Structure 1
Amino acid sequence: MSEARTDSRLPRLLLVTGMSGAGKSTVLDALEDMGWDTVDNLPTALLQAFVHGSDRERQAANVAVGMDARSRGFDAHAIPDLIRSVEGVRPEILYLDAAGAELIRRYDETRRRHPLAPDRPAEDGIARERALTAPLRLAADSVLDTTDLKPSDLRDELRRRYGGNSNEPVITITSFGFARGISRTADFVFDLRFAPNPHWIDELRPLTGLDAAVQDYVARQPGWTETLDRIEDLLADLIPRHFGAGKSYLGVAFGCTGGRHRSVAAAAMMANRLRARGFSPNIRHRDLSLKPSDSVEEHPAPSQPRANDLSE
């Protein structure tokens, strides 16, 4: 891509595409609220006219265009070249995805028919659309999986990505619990289950990894500080490399069993470490609001303290 095409002074052109039901309307509404000029289901033949219309104010605004299998002239193989052929903008493709079961649930909840399977079960349309849009997914600058995102979480993520300074990478640090499914949006996933689980300490069970008592406890465990040191060095090296190669969004996820103690503490600690190095990470604690549950947490090894033992 030429230097002119990456000039931060140019307005952005974002193609919002992907799976029907994955949140395209929510994304476009959120971008419009942030001042973007948006349109949904634009025929491909009208793209140039919409971006470079006679409205001079429009030409200075960031533009988001929604296209999917319903759009007139839709061709998943040709659209990436079409988007990147538009002059005077910084083109980008955002592909929205979600797990098949979640898409089926959303269609059942809204009682809408899938556009590619009006007379068949939604899962047939989902499978057809996933195959049809596969070239777009491969060509996308960013793939955003909305399976685990509430609409408010999705809007927060969009504000991080498209509402601020585009001259630095958008780094999102997520904590999650493996018992509730791995983080789907992370580029790097780190497993903190090697450390004893604070859930089995009576005094720590009702607390979270945001509390000083939990952070002090995990920090005393063998290997904890050394592990975070190595992860910090790794991220400090890789983040600029990925950004320099054109990757604007990086997800870093820390997982433990239930997603309330070790992963939350690690995410908070790593965010502070990266801020000290000049980065500006965002934090999302996916499972923090869930209640403690013995059935979710793994039983501790015989050597791990369970109750009334906060000693080193």
Structure 2
Amino acid sequence: MSEAVKTDTPTAQRVVLVTGPSGAGRTTAIAALEDLGYETIDNLPLSLVPRLLGGPAERPIALGIDVRNRDFSATALIELIDSLTRAPEVTLEVLYLDARPEVLERRYSETRRRHPLTQIEAPKEGILLEIDMLAPIRVRADVLIDTSAMTPHEARAEVSRWFDLGRVARLGVSVHSFSYKRGVPRGLDLMFDCRFLANPHWVEALRPQDGRSPDVAGYVASDPRYAELIERVMGLLLFVLPAHVEEGRTHLSVGFGCTGGKHRSVAVTETIAKALAEAGWQVSKRHRELERRTEGLAGVKTGSSA
């Protein structure tokens, strides 16, 4: 891991950066966070954020960030996220509100609003441009909420589920799969290497599939070391999670890596996420390399082994 994982301190300022494509529900999320007791500021210039956080930590802050910010750029936002992650006086969470392009286009059509990245063009052009611009931020999100099938009320409820300050015993656990070739995801608290398991990449019929496929998952699970790996990892997680709750933690990220991030790490992530949910924990899962493939990010090659 390229940087040390920062631990929370009692005086740390909790900060939630709220971002995502226009029309995905960022304003709804900001309103929900304000109702939950957060101090909320929308569209603050990125250059002013460090100055804002220099004051006393009286209550948590939620900052709305999008392409309409005066000095917005994906590079500047990434640099801000990285600097706040390293700052011992700040506990940072990135909340990304997302929706499918066709859903965003329909929402713009219904409201007859102009997309902030377009002048006279159809909203679709601006939507696709913004999604592409925000892709590096999406990958760095701690909590990702897809509002495509949600009403505004349901979106608010989902934000409350993750960020309700009144739920002392609440701890959100995000489980990630990733490729070591593309680096370790930002902000992991625990990380496990799955590269010793049987590799479906070398089975021609399984190679095109991913770890969510029953055939691939079954092949990985057939490795004689798999069952003990799951048992030991779950035992560790069920031991440490209550301790993190006692320490006041609100979020824990667990990563599973393999060579290509397509087969073994995905299969293990699916198993662990399901087991944690069945044990009563609040769980979200992310498959970074599968998301990259789906979105077709520029410059990303997909031919590595899993």
Normalising by structure 1, report the TM-score.
Answer: 0.54
Once the two structures are TM-superposed, the CA of residue 281 in structure 1 deviates from its matched residue by 7.2
1:239–1:115 CA distance, 2 compared to 1 (3 A):
farther
Instruction: Please give the alpha-carbon distance, in whole angstroms, between the structure 2 residues aligned to 1:167 and 1:5.
Output: 18
1:247 aligns with 2:253: yes
2:12 to 10, 13, 29: 10
Once the two structures are TM-superposed, the CA of residue 102 in structure 1 deviates from its matched residue by 0.6
Residue number in structure 1 paired with 2:65: 67
Once the two structures are TM-superposed, the CA of residue 72 in structure 1 deviates from its matched residue by 1.4
8 A contact 2:173–2:253 mirrored in 1: no
Once the two structures are TM-superposed, the CA of residue 247 in structure 1 deviates from its matched residue by 2.1
Instruction: Please give the alpha-carbon distance, in whole angstroms, between the structure 1 residues aligned to 2:236 and 2:145.
Output: 19
1:77 aligns with 2:75: yes
Instruction: Please give the alpha-carbon distance, in whole angstroms, between the structure 2 residues aligned to 1:73 and 1:25.
Output: 19
Report the aligned-residue RMSD. 3.8
8 A contact 1:274–1:280 mirrored in 2: no
Instruction: Please give the alpha-carbon distance, in whole angstroms, between the structure 1 residues aligned to 2:4 and 2:276.
Output: 33
Q: Secondary structure at the match of 2:154?
A: helix
1:67–1:273 CA distance, 2 compared to 1 (3 A):
closer
Residue number in structure 1 paired with 2:279: 274
The unaligned stretches of length 5 or more in structure 1 are 172-187, 192-229, 249-269, 283-312
1:272–1:34 CA distance, 2 compared to 1 (3 A):
closer
8 A contact 2:173–2:252 mirrored in 1: no
Residue number in structure 2 paired with 1:256: none
Correspondences of 1:1-312 after superposition (within 5 Å) = 5-7=7-9, 10-53=12-55, 56=56, 59-86=57-84, 87=87, 88-163=89-164, 164-165=167-168, 168-169=171-172, 237=234, 240=237, 246-247=252-253, 273-275=278-280, 279=281
Q: Secondary structure at the match of 1:85?
A: helix
8 A contact 1:98–1:147 mirrored in 2: yes
Once the two structures are TM-superposed, the CA of residue 141 in structure 1 deviates from its matched residue by 1.9
1:128–1:9 CA distance, 2 compared to 1 (3 A):
same
Residue number in structure 2 paired with 1:307: none
Once the two structures are TM-superposed, the CA of residue 78 in structure 1 deviates from its matched residue by 2.7
The unaligned stretches of length 5 or more in structure 2 are 175-210, 215-226, 245-250, 255-274, 285-306
Instruction: Please give the alpha-carbon distance, in whole angstroms, between the structure 1 residues aligned to 2:44 and 2:236.
Output: 35
- Structure 2 counterpart of 1:169, one-letter code: G
Instruction: Please give the alpha-carbon distance, in whole angstroms, between the structure 2 residues aligned to 1:22 and 1:281.
Output: 22
Once the two structures are TM-superposed, the CA of residue 237 in structure 1 deviates from its matched residue by 2.4
- Structure 2 counterpart of 1:74, one-letter code: F
Normalising by structure 2, report the TM-score.
Answer: 0.55
Q: Secondary structure at the match of 2:16?
A: strand
- Structure 1 counterpart of 2:100, one-letter code: A
Once the two structures are TM-superposed, the CA of residue 98 in structure 1 deviates from its matched residue by 0.4
8 A contact 2:93–2:142 mirrored in 1: yes
1:81–1:67 CA distance, 2 compared to 1 (3 A):
same
Residue number in structure 2 paired with 1:213: none
8 A contact 2:96–2:138 mirrored in 1: yes
The percent identity for this pair of structures is 34
Once the two structures are TM-superposed, the CA of residue 130 in structure 1 deviates from its matched residue by 1.0
1:71–1:189 CA distance, 2 compared to 1 (3 A):
same
Q: Which moved more, 1:17-26 or 1:73-82?
A: 73-82
Once the two structures are TM-superposed, the CA of residue 77 in structure 1 deviates from its matched residue by 1.9
Once the two structures are TM-superposed, the CA of residue 165 in structure 1 deviates from its matched residue by 3.8
Higher Rg: 1
Once the two structures are TM-superposed, the CA of residue 120 in structure 1 deviates from its matched residue by 0.5
Instruction: Please give the alpha-carbon distance, in whole angstroms, between the structure 2 residues aligned to 1:238 and 1:19.
Output: 39
8 A contact 1:84–1:91 mirrored in 2: no
